[in-house]
Amino acid sequence: MDTMTFIAVASIVTAGLTTGMGCIGPALGEGRSVSTALSALAQQPDAANTITRTLFVGLAMIESMAIYSFVISMILIFANPFWNHVISRAAGQ
């Protein structure tokens, strides 16, 4: 296996693992936060506006972790910094 093929395979596998692992944590966190918010709404229905607003801000922050891991995987697939290094080394030889 030549260097370019190895970098392509490693990039694709790493991008898949990054997306997979980067989405497990936020999914569990979002489920737990919604569950806790529903319990809080059931106990204190008069504080629904405050709880809902806080929930949405928290969900946006939790979701940003999944978005960051998706961006990293897209960089690994489409704008891999290792490609330029390997291409310049191959052209120099």
pLDDT digits (tens, 9 = 90+) for 60-76: 999 999 999 999 999 88
Average pLDDT over residues 24-28: 93
- The span from the CA of 36 to the CA of 62, in Å, is 15
**Tell me, what's the pLDDT at 91?**
75
Average pLDDT over residues 36-42: 95
Query: The domain spanning residue 66 has which CATH number?
Result: 1.20.20.10
As for how many domains the chain has, the answer is 1
In a domain, 93, yes or no: no
Q: State which residues form the domain around 30.
A: 3-80
| Helices vs strands, H then E, count in the chain | 3, 0
Average pLDDT over residues 74-83: 83
Residue 36 has pLDDT above 90, yes or no: yes
**Tell me, what's the pLDDT at 93?**
65
**Tell me, what's the pLDDT at 79?**
83
In a domain, 89, yes or no: no
pTM of this structure: 0.73
- The span from the CA of 38 to the CA of 59, in Å, is 14
Confidence tier at 28 by pLDDT (50, 70, 90): very high
